[in-house]
Structure 1
Amino acid sequence: MARFYMRWHLNPLAAPTDQEELAKLWMRMLEMVKADLKEGRLTDWGSCSDASAGYAFAETDEKSLYAAVLKWIPYVVFDIKPVLTVDECIECIQRAAPGK
């Protein structure tokens, strides 16, 4: 399974302008995040202190990840990249430069 770093930010065009409705939306989304963490669909999640953006990590395959992010549209926009551990980086460097 691959590891993915997901940088997310809220879509201001999709967010409610009424503060009460916005708070309800946030609470629904945070409950979804907690469920994803509990079920192992996410391995970590965090929000920037200005609440406009944040990050998440997941260990999954591309198709499962694609299906998982669909539930956040249109409220959240993602920039998703596969990532390597330090040991995986070392292994790749050693393979790329044999004998060094």
Structure 2
Amino acid sequence: AAMTISTYEEMGQVNTYVLLPMSFLCGTFFSVHTLPEVVRYFIQLLPLTHTSYLLRGISLGQPIALESLGVLALYAIILFMAARWAFLRLTK
């Protein structure tokens, strides 16, 4: 976000419209299984959902969810490539 915004106020919009809803919907405070099925499919695509699954599983001594690790690795690769592209675009 820092490479695409131009003012501090725009970062507030990212927090308001992206991070805040994601923190409430992605299983951080309550189970995503209580959400409607249509919403749950969308929530399963977000990275915070899988981070919550992994952290909850580790804290409870459960096996690591490989699906969540895969989703987070995919996000890391995609976002790294997007950040690289944005950085190269700014430096030209």
Relative to the length of structure 1, the TM-score reads 0.29
The higher relative CO (CA closer than 8 Å, separation ≥ 6) is in 1
Larger radius of gyration: 1
Select the structure that is richer in strand: 1
